[in-house]
Every structure is written in C-alpha cells, then in structure tokens.
Structure 1
Amino acid sequence: LDRLGNRLLTGVRAREFDFTFKAVRDDSVNAFAVPGGHVYVHTGLIKAAENETELAAVIAHEINHVVARHGTQQLTQQYGYGLVIQLLLGQNPNLLAQLASTLFGQGAFMAYSRSMELQADYLGAETMYRAGYDPRGMISFFRKIDTINQRNPGALEKFFSSHPMTGERLRNIQMEIGKLPPKTFREDSSEFNRVKARL
C-alpha cells in the first residue's frame, strides 16, 4: 500500500503533509481517510479489486478527500475545531488510533456529500492520470461494486454509507476522463497479485 500510495502522491496537485497507508483486516469492501493524511484500506476491498489500477482508483479517491479537506469539514461539524486541530498538529498521539478505531467500529468514516464525492472522483482520476495509472480503473471498479450491490443488496452497506454511489457519479467521471489526452499508462505490478493471494 505504501508503494502504491506514494506513487499516487506524485500526481496530487498539492500536498501539505505526509500520508500513511494502512491495511485493515476486514472482509468488507471499504476504505476511508482521516484528516492529516491517514488512509485505511480494508483487505476485503483489496480482494475485490481486479488489479492494481482498480485499487489505485480507490486510494486516489481517498487521498483527494484529504487534499480537499472533506474529512476536516465533516469532523469539525461533528466534534468541533479542538479535535481537528489536535489531530492535524499531532498534539495527542493516541487520538488518531482512537478516532480510527471508533470510525472502523462504526463501519464507515462519514457520509460525504454528493459534491464532495464528485470532487474526490474528479481529483482522484486526475491524480491517477498524472501518476501514470489509467483512470478508467475508477470506472471499472465503480461498475464492479454497483454490480455486486445489485446482485446482493446490502452486501456493500459499509462502502455505500460513506460513499454513496449514483449514476451521476459514474457519468461525470466518464465525461471527465474522456477529456484527458491519450497517454501510455504503467503496467500493473506482479506485487499486487502476490499480496492479494496472501489475504
């Protein structure tokens, strides 16, 4: 995750702090980000990803929730400025672990607004493109989770509770990706399949 996350960070427009990338042993298909640059990916999501590019799509989306300060806005509304300042400044070393544990226990980080999701999609696709990943991996992953949800409603409840999926999101991201100039993208690494096989 670190290698993939750091490679994606080369495509981010601007970054104010270091990021960390952690796997969470949980079979649900989910990922979330905490203000300050902490991205958590469930092992169930890694298993659901067909390839490294699809996993990169989810991580790029989460990175850009942080870059656009969506989580900071949501946490400030829920808990006030004091908690957010402590988290961003690292004043309480146990706070991040407590917050991540609480959010993981709830099954989702927080429900982002429609506009926040659209922005994270757009910036995520741009990040992928700039870092050398094919942004169409975002479309294929969105279609995959939509198909899973149609076949087994409620199977992806955790994912959809924090990342509501709509046809509008898929159409918008397809349109934005269509505007990007043609480019040769990096090949998926064999490391992804080795990691996935161990889960």
Structure 2
Amino acid sequence: MEDLFLPGIALTILIGIAYITGRLADGAHERALRRDEALLPHQYLDSGDAVPDDITLHDSKLVTGKVVIAEDRFRNLLARLRIFVGGRLAAHEATVTRAKREAILRLRTNAKGASHIIGLRFDSAELGRGMIEVIVSGTALYTDHRPTGGRPSALPDDGVNISHRNLLAEFASGSIAFLLICWGIYTASGLAVEWAANSISVQEEVAIWSELEPGLIAEHREDYERSLPERYLLGLVNSIPKEAIGPAKDYDFDVLIIPDDSPNAAALPGGLMLVHTGMLELVDTENELLSILGHEIGHYNGRDHLEGIGREVVGVALSAMMFQTDAVLTTWAASWPKLLADRDYSRSQELDADDWSLRILMAKYGHVAEASTTFAKLGQLQGDRSLLDYLSTHPHPRDRVERLEDMAREQGLPIGEPVDLQVAFENFLVRTGEIPASALEDRHQFNLTNTGH
C-alpha cells in the first residue's frame, strides 16, 4: 500500500503547488491586462473589412500582435483528464481568451495614432509542452478622427465563452469521471480474464506455461535435483488424499524453496509452488506447513494463479494504451480503481483458499490442529488493524484466524495433536534412507532451512 500512498502524498503536494502558483500567475496577468487596456486610447475594432463611411482616410497599414503564453501545470492536468473522460475543455478557455487580449494589446500598440483597426483575424498554434502562440492581424486606419482615452469598444471576448466554474470543482468532477471509467474498464476486463482462466484446462495451462518457462515447467525437475527440504515438502503434498485436493489433482506438483526472509508462499502456473525460507522459519509444526501448502492448492482449484497473471497483463496493457506519456500521474490515479476492483475479488480468492486448507488438513490428519496458527503469527507481525487493511487485497490475518476457528467449530471438526516439524522432517530423512537414525543425535544439524542437496 505504501506504493500508492507515498507517491499519492507527493503528487497531491505537487498538484497543490501547481494550483496555487497557476492562480497567482493568472491573477497577475489579469491585473496587468486591465491596467494596460485602460491606458491605451479608444480605438474602433472591427472584424469586418469595410472602411466606415463617416471618416476621411489618410493612411492605412497592416499591423499585428503576437503573444506566446504557457499553460500552468494544473490546467494541463485538468485538460488531460477532460480529454480522457470527454466534455468541455473549460480549463483552456480562460487562458486562450487572455492570450487574445494580450495579442490585441500588442496590435493596438503597433497601431499608434490609428482611430480604427478593421479586418481583425486571429490565428493560433500549439508550440508544445503547454505553450500556445496567438497572432492577431488587422488593418490600421489613420483618419481625421482622433482616438480618445478609455477602453476599446470591443475586446476579443466578453466572457460568454469562458467557463466561470471553479477549477477545483472542475478538477474534482473530472477526476471522479476518470476513476469511474477506469473502474469500469478494470472490472469488465477482470470478468473476461476470469472466464478465460476457467476455460483453460490443466493440460493446456501446462503446455502454454512450458513455452514461457521451459526451465521450470517443461523440464520438470528430477528428484535428485531437489534439495532435501524440497523433497520433504513435495512428499507432504503428494501424501494428501487425491479426493481431498479437488480439481488440482490433475497437476504434477513441484515445490521450490526461495531464499527470502519474508514469510510468503505462491502458486505459479503449471503446478510449481514457491515457499520462502522466511515461511519455513515461521512454522513449528507439519500441520502449519501443510495448511500453507493446502492454501496454495486452493488457489489452483480456483484458478487464481492464472487470473492474477491475466489481470496484471490487462492492467499493464491498458496503462500503455490509455495513458502513454502521462503514465506517472494517470497510471497512479488509475491504480486506485484497479485496487478497488481487485480488492473484493482477491479477498474472496484468499478466503476460498483458506477453506481448501481446512479440508486438506482434515483429510490428511483427521483433525484441523494448527489450521490458523500461521495466520495468528502473521497477525502479531503485522500488528493491529488499520485503514490500510481495508484497502488491502488480503484480509487481516486476525480476521482469517477468527473465520477458520468459527468454521471448524460450526462444522464440528476435531482439534488433535500437531506433529512437530523438526521431528516430521527427521522421520522423513530416516524413512527415505537419506540419513541413518543414529545421525539424529544432533537435532539441529537437519532442518528445512539449512539442509542442502
């Protein structure tokens, strides 16, 4: 969650700075325009080309006024949001009008002594990075009329084309529309990914993943290539009664231990389960360990591993397609609807996998001792519940402990004696002939985290 909150705080500060500095610059420019417009003599401005009949023309010439004006970053952000969601680009209207007024001022300054300026024409061009150039041209008429002081009889815009809506309100409405559109896209794509994942058979999944990761899947490891702890874990998985595994019984499972201190495990396509050494150091009984492996088997039954990969691929593809050069800000903003779209879905997956771990423990041992112990330990490490837990894709470990205990009590599942993990591993080594029973005098010599091949 820090990946969302910390950049979000920084971006909020930057947006606030952009808003304040932009409004200060707008105010300063508006005041300068009003002052200069009041100082210039009154001149008749007309977009028509006809020379008035009531004047005596002495001379005429072509005059121009040109200005380059830059959009502030806040208006640029607001305009990008509006381009994405559709609607009126009000953020640019006031800036364009001020640019026209500035160009008119420079045109009139170039037409000193002229009483009329006719044939006014505006041209504009985008120079990139939020800069626009506005050019106004016209014909200055030097007549027997002398211009008097005061404002011009016509300005480039009298305000009807400018939105007077507060920019912060405009930003809020654009952001909400943007988030809703992203949420809809992610939700719809998630449903499509779920359908696709459930349409792929185990055999098709293995075939596809073998092409992507041939070293892990296509060339399935032989037993001698696994470490002793990996052989033990795989033997524990294979000792589960097939009828208790569910649809995942069609997988040819393998277990790979990853040297990582974080207490975690994962299910990869093709039946490869990853277990961190940090998780092995956390558990004390074989029952705890099997509840973890059973949880990962539950993910295979729900096709969660495929759906998770599919959602990530869709998210990256949509970000690249929709956001392009605006990826830093808009991708961060779009990650919130993605998080909310995935939150309930991922939590449901986790709870369903917990249900499978309970069934597998019962089928293996005839009781469900230690079914929630690992989550209790993780809860101690994670601490009390917070707002971040509400947004997390995983339920708080303590909630999972309460749920598993309630399920066991409601179903009348017995709580038996757990099997010490060290004893179970040593018995495995003796049973498979890896070591003689006499070698077990030093009980710290053989454990899951320091025993090699």
* TM-score, length of structure 1 as denominator length: 0.69
Percent of counterpart pairs with the same letter?
A: 27
Instruction: Please name the residue that 2:400 is paired with.
Output: 169
What SS is found at the alignment partner of 1:196?
Answer: coil
In 2, Cα distance between equivalents of 1:59 and 1:133: 17
Which of residues 289, 292, 296 is equivalent to 1:62? 296
Which of residues 184, 188, 196 is equivalent to 2:448? 196
Instruction: Please name the residue that 1:89 is paired with.
Output: none
**What are the superposed Cα offsets for residues 49-94 of structure 1, whole Å, 9 maximum, x if unpaired?**
11211111111101111121111112122226xxxxxxxxxxxxxx
Distance 1:182 1:72, change over 3 A: same
CA contact (8 A) 2:283 2:289 kept: yes
What is the CA distance between 1:184 and its match in structure 2? 5.7
**Between 166-175 and 57-66, the greater mean CA deviation after superposition:** 166-175
**Between 15-24 and 118-127, the greater mean CA deviation after superposition:** 15-24
For 2:271, the aligned partner's letter is G
More strand by share: 2
Distance 1:43 1:24, change over 3 A: same
Instruction: Please name the residue that 1:88 is paired with.
Output: none
What SS is found at the alignment partner of 1:138?
Answer: coil
CA contact (8 A) 2:367 2:413 kept: no
For 1:168, the aligned partner's letter is D
Instruction: Please name the residue that 1:146 is paired with.
Output: 379
1:40 aligns with 2:284: no
In 2, Cα distance between equivalents of 1:197 and 1:70: 28
What SS is found at the alignment partner of 2:273?
Answer: strand
Q: Which has the larger radius of gyration?
A: 2
Instruction: Please name the residue that 1:104 is paired with.
Output: none
CA contact (8 A) 1:8 1:60 kept: no
**What are the superposed Cα offsets for residues 13-49 of structure 1, whole Å, 9 maximum, x if unpaired?**
2322211111111121111111221110001110111
What is the CA distance between 1:182 and its match in structure 2? 3.2
In 1, Cα distance between equivalents of 2:283 and 2:366: 15
For structure 1, list consecutive stretches of 5 or more residues without a partner in the other structure.
Answer: 81-109, 152-160
**What are the superposed Cα offsets for residues 98-152 of structure 1, whole Å, 9 maximum, x if unpaired?**
xxxxxxxxxxxx987111111000111111111226433121111111112229x
In 1, Cα distance between equivalents of 2:284 and 2:349: 26
**Between 130-139 and 17-26, the greater mean CA deviation after superposition:** 130-139
Instruction: Please name the residue that 2:352 is paired with.
Output: 119
Counterparts of 1:1-199 in structure 2 under 5 Å? 1-8=233-240, 10=242, 11-14=244-247, 15-79=249-313, 113-132=346-365, 134-150=367-383, 163-178=394-409, 179-182=411-414, 187-188=419-420, 190-192=423-425, 194-196=446-448, 198=450
What is the CA distance between 1:188 and its match in structure 2? 4.0
What SS is found at the alignment partner of 1:32?
Answer: strand
For 1:140, the aligned partner's letter is T
Larger RCO (CA within 8 A; separation ≥ 6): 1
Distance 1:165 1:8, change over 3 A: farther
For 2:255, the aligned partner's letter is F
In 1, Cα distance between equivalents of 2:377 and 2:250: 33
What SS is found at the alignment partner of 2:284?
Answer: coil
For 2:447, the aligned partner's letter is V
What SS is found at the alignment partner of 2:260?
Answer: coil
In 1, Cα distance between equivalents of 2:241 and 2:308: 23
Distance 1:136 1:52, change over 3 A: same
For structure 2, list consecutive stretches of 5 or more residues without a partner in the other structure.
Answer: 1-232, 315-341, 385-391, 427-445
For 1:32, the aligned partner's letter is A
**Between 13-22 and 26-35, the greater mean CA deviation after superposition:** 13-22
Coordinate RMSD, CA, aligned: 2.9
**Between 167-176 and 122-131, the greater mean CA deviation after superposition:** 167-176
